[in-house]
Amino acid sequence: MSSYTVLNPATEQPVTTVPGTSAEETDAAIERARSAQRSWRAVAPGDRARLLRAFAAAVDAAGEELAQLEVANSGHPVSAARWEAGQLRDVIAYYAAAPERLTGKQIPVAGGLDVTFNEPLGVVGLIVPWNFPMPILSWGLAPALAAGNAVIAKPAELTPLTAIRVGQLALEAGLPEGVFQVLPGKGSVVGQRLVDHPGVRKIVFTGSTQVGKQVMTGCAQQVKRLTLELGGKSANIVFADSDLERAAATAPYAVFDNAGQDCCARSRILVEKSAFERFMELLEPAVKGVRVGDPASPDTEMGPLISAGHRAHVASYVPEGSPVAFAGHQQAGPGYWYPPTVLAPVSFTDRAYREEIFGPVVTVTPFSDEAQAVELANDTPYGLSGSIWTRDLGRAIRVSRGVEAGNLSVNSHSSVRYWTPFGGFKQSGLGRELGPDALDAFTEVKNVFMASD
């Protein structure tokens, strides 16, 4: 792949041209990373921490530039893009504290001293999707670097611009050459090479479950370490005893945020039968009130979809004659716009009910009791996130324990908090990112016994 043009999804106009990395160039980058990693792991913990703090400060100083790049490249509303640039900074700052705290254990044994070390893996390949280019880059990048690994990031074809800039910022902040490289290009070329090359010791893949399975198969050939963050079809469960006004007012944002291009989108709203009618009455104005439009405007809440192809894919879930209960604003003019759309009633076999749409389309389905709510929430191969709305504390506990998903919120729709572990059950993924234990995924435990006699 030679160079290619990146489009602004809100205007369909070209933003810039990006070089596509070849397989040979990927191999050369892996060699550079291997050599850089040998020095990086030897940098004293305090110095590695200082460099990561400088990196976070450089990202902070470039925050507005990064946000504007994301607005142009991804069509994210500027308020969201600023939050994303802030998350990138905060995640690097959070893990900047890790090198100085990466302690092993001293384990009591007979005849000597037993200690464990958390050794870096080597070169880590990060394969990033297009929906949240900055946050998802940071979740792998920061803990991997903190643990003493070198990182090669492969941004999604459609959204490479912020990652490329972040790579420059790392160098400007003083990270040694080769410790963090960004290789824009095709998944089937650069991504595949990272998976296949024996010099890469770990892959962090975030993307579709379909490609994730191929990556897992590839990694198996070398027993390569792997973290997978894949798709979702999460439930927002609303019980009749909940604060229905708040549940309805917030439900649109739990699924239409980032135009529904969110792995955690609560794209199945399940509502207790006795409250169903009232909930729909409250939901309609909330959906119609979502401010769809120019991503550059600070008031905008929802922008366009990422591409023409993706819009056609999303639209395929709402064919002629679909049960559209109501829809939000349809933006006119150029850009890959799709309105917030509510489908009800839908059958349990409907594609829109079963498959990840990754767009602003939500289904609303009634349930009869707590047991059925949990059963419906779990009736999916995915298990990433979900919300539970109830005022009954016991029920909140029972349903939270019953739903098979990695990230649940009660009476809220929490987005990713970098202080807490994030990841999926079932086909939503493998392993966890973020939180205090993230370095476990970027280190090998080495046990050393030293005889005292």
Instruction: Kindly state whether residue 427 participates in binding ligand NAD, applying the rule CB under 6 A.
Output: no
Instruction: Kindly state whether residue 178 participates in binding ligand NAD, applying the rule CB under 6 A.
Output: no
Q: Return the residue matching tokens 């192809």.
A: 309
Cα 96 to Cα 47, 89, 256, 439: the distances in Å are: 10, 10, 33, 12
Instruction: Kindly state whether residue 120 participates in binding ligand NAD, applying the rule CB under 6 A.
Output: no
- Chain centre distance of CA 146: 20
263 is an active site residue: yes
| Pairing status of strand 225-229 against strand 200-206 | parallel
Q: What's the min distance (Å) between Cβ of 130 and ligand NAD?
A: 5
Question: What is the footprint of ligand NAD within residues 340-359 (CB under 6 A)?
Answer: 356, 358
Characterize 80-89 residue by residue with b for buried, 16 or more Cβ atoms within 10 angstroms of its Cβ, and e for exposed. Answer: bbbbbbbbbb
Handedness of CA 390, 396, 402, 407 (dihedral sign): positive
In angstroms, rounded to a whole number, what is the distance separating the alpha carbons of residues 250 and 435? Answer: 26
Binding ligand NAD (rule: CB under 6 A), the pick from 5, 188, 330, 412 is: 188
Amino acid at site 53 = R
Instruction: Kindly state whether residue 55 participates in binding ligand NAD, applying the rule CB under 6 A.
Output: no
Instruction: Kindly state whether residue 20 participates in binding ligand NAD, applying the rule CB under 6 A.
Output: no
Residue 83 or residue 117: which is nearer to ligand NAD going by CB? Answer: 83
Catalytic residue among 263, 264, 356, 433: 263
Binding ligand NAD (rule: CB under 6 A), the pick from 99, 160, 167, 232 is: 232
Q: What's the min distance (Å) between Cβ of 90 and ligand NAD?
A: 17
Q: Are 55 and 170 in contact (CB under 8 A)?
A: yes
Give phi and psi for 375, each to the nearest 5. -60, -45
Binding ligand NAD (rule: CB under 6 A), the pick from 55, 94, 130, 418 is: 130
- Please report which helix (H) or strand (E) contains residue 39, including its range: helix 23-40
Q: Which stretch binds ligand NAD (CB under 6 A): 57-65, 130-138, 281-289, 334-342?
A: 130-138
Closest to 305 (Cα-Cα) out of 242, 261, 252, 363:
261
Instruction: Kindly state whether residue 195 participates in binding ligand NAD, applying the rule CB under 6 A.
Output: yes
Instruction: Kindly state whether residue 90 participates in binding ligand NAD, applying the rule CB under 6 A.
Output: no
Using CB under 6 A as the criterion, what x/- string covers residues 212-231 for binding ligand NAD?
A: --xx-------------xxx
Binding site for ligand NAD (CB under 6 A): 127-132, 136, 154, 156-157, 187-188, 191-192, 195, 206-208, 211, 214-215, 229-232, 263, 356, 358, 384, 424, 428-429
Active site residues: 229, 263
